[in-house]
Structure 1
């Protein structure tokens, strides 16, 4: 019963993440949230990558597996492609978060480089490059599986090859992949955030001193408020990423050290794995919630989007 309840919660989360990310893409693409074009492109790219994660990992890989076990999706080449897409989408999503964090670091800490780097062209190129590299890096995952059985010369289902657990080549690739995603992103995001906040706090102290407001904290300073919002937005996006991925990373390291390759649904490890997976997937729809809380114009656009069907229905009824 517990495993069924966990499955139901995770499935509900899967389907909720899809409209959340679609809503974020539509609203941000309209360009009415008061954000620069550069930031907007990054946020749209991150939302699109998160949407792909939700479609590939939970829907195609888990939900189809649970509810449609005998569909064509379980022909070996097809389920291998789905498995490959899961890793590709995850890599792209994680590294776009790093790209956004680095862009904000340059914008705040490197004024000389800001005009050349923080542009729409650079953002578009970085998203394209990350997508291509994510595709290439994840390609070996396609070859992890072999057919469980063959019926009328058609290979069915995907089971992990024995060589995956015994080959030093596979072991090296897995270590490289885990370091690449998400260990290195963890380190880079923490480092860039610390440097960015340090620069903002230093600039804020200098600004207060120049304006003679050291003893007048209650006076409004639009520039200071903008910087505070920048810190909150940056820390919220990157901080939620780290917190929601942490359990998945720790559990993966534990499995590798303990050499645990499988477990039953009644095993406590199943609950741990499911919880870690749910938290990781939750990171694919938290950004929209963060925008809603922090950005007033984004909140207004969300309200407009929610009201639009009702307003349209009212107009149709009147006509």
Structure 2
């Protein structure tokens, strides 16, 4: 949509999302980068990369796109070249966030289920290479979106707003590109996360049964730290996959609807299809802000570091007053 969405819900939701999302991801990056959360370098690289990508999603998709469109509709951000570049950055940051989630899920799958590969793959060097590759490919893949738009108005030779070219919906190359991008994000990640989590859970369940059999009847009467850790892993995997599936589902439904019906316009902001589209975007942006929180918040040492971070300025203030 070249026009800013209006309504109290949008005007409140996006500022709240930015207010929570920006500091949350900045704090996550700061804490994880210190390396005091008891996590391996490999995991830390993925989590920091995910937090950085999610921060970019908040800055580009929420602040520069949604909030600016709502409160500063006629700003320089609405000039067509700037608007087009902004869209490229939004798509790139979103794809990077999603694919880093897939990369991390695969890394955990290898660590849990493929012990022989673990020593070679689950290293900080591999993690750094994967994170860097995802960032580069995410940017390159989305460059064509810059050419999707044309000016809606031209005033004093200045092009304004990003209006989707009519050829985008009919030209074979655009249809192929759009379909490829939708398969790449979110259909393929959707499938891979489900598959990897299912295989990981299956491995954990089988391993737990074997471990209980070896321990005998005493397994029911005593605590087993290994089994408890595996249970936590299952809960974490279900939380990640469930969050991704639920928050992306509306976007997928809308995409399939307009591709099947070939309806690309709306009667107004009260049109149910328009509402479906906007709800899909809202949940999509929320999804890109929850990944790091779900992974990192489950770590007790991360929570301890967060408490220390909150207490530090308070201690300094008390010390100053004394």
What TM bracket, shorter-length normalisation? over 0.9
| Other-structure match for 1:269 | 273
Matched, 1:48 2:52: yes
Please report how far the alpha carbon of residue 199 of structure 1 lies from its aligned counterpart in structure 2 after TM superposition.
Answer: 0.9
- Partner Cα separation in structure 1 for residue 176 and residue 23 of structure 2: 38
What count of residue pairs does the alignment treat as equivalent? 316
Q: Secondary structure at the match of 1:285?
A: helix
Q: Is the 8 A contact 1:29 1:40 kept in 2?
A: yes
Matched, 1:156 2:160: yes
| Other-structure match for 1:13 | 17
| Other-structure match for 1:227 | 230
Structure 2, gaps ≥5 residues long: 1-5
- Partner Cα separation in structure 1 for residue 225 and residue 245 of structure 2: 30
Query: Which residues in structure 2 correspond to 1:72-83 (within 5 Å)?
Result: 72-83=76-87
Please report how far the alpha carbon of residue 275 of structure 1 lies from its aligned counterpart in structure 2 after TM superposition.
Answer: 2.1
Please report how far the alpha carbon of residue 34 of structure 1 lies from its aligned counterpart in structure 2 after TM superposition.
Answer: 1.5
Q: For residues 209 and 49 of structure 1, do their structure 2 counterparts lie closer, same or farther at Cα, with a shift above 3 Å needed? A: same
- Partner Cα separation in structure 2 for residue 228 and residue 274 of structure 1: 36
Q: Is the 8 A contact 1:20 1:288 kept in 2?
A: no
Matched, 1:23 2:21: no
Which of 189, 194, 199 is the aligned partner of 2:198?
194
- Partner Cα separation in structure 1 for residue 180 and residue 218 of structure 2: 53
Which of 93, 105, 109 is the aligned partner of 2:113?
109
- Partner Cα separation in structure 1 for residue 300 and residue 75 of structure 2: 45
Q: Secondary structure at the match of 1:216?
A: helix
What TM-score results when the alignment is normalised by the length of structure 2?
A: 0.92
Which of 244, 263, 287 is the aligned partner of 1:241?
244
- Partner Cα separation in structure 2 for residue 292 and residue 18 of structure 1: 16
Please report how far the alpha carbon of residue 103 of structure 1 lies from its aligned counterpart in structure 2 after TM superposition.
Answer: 0.4
| Other-structure match for 1:217 | 220
| Other-structure match for 2:95 | 91
Q: Secondary structure at the match of 1:283?
A: helix
- Partner Cα separation in structure 2 for residue 153 and residue 3 of structure 1: 31
The root-mean-square deviation of aligned C-alpha atoms, in Å, is 1.8
> 285-294 vs 138-147, which deviates more?
285-294
What TM-score results when the alignment is normalised by the length of structure 1?
A: 0.93
Structure 1, gaps ≥5 residues long: none
Q: Is the 8 A contact 2:212 2:219 kept in 1?
A: no
Q: Secondary structure at the match of 1:70?
A: coil
Q: Is the 8 A contact 1:97 1:238 kept in 2?
A: no
CA deviation vs aligned residue, 1:192-244 (integer Å, no higher than 9, x gap)? 111111111111211222223x4532312222222222222233223211221
Please report how far the alpha carbon of residue 266 of structure 1 lies from its aligned counterpart in structure 2 after TM superposition.
Answer: 2.0
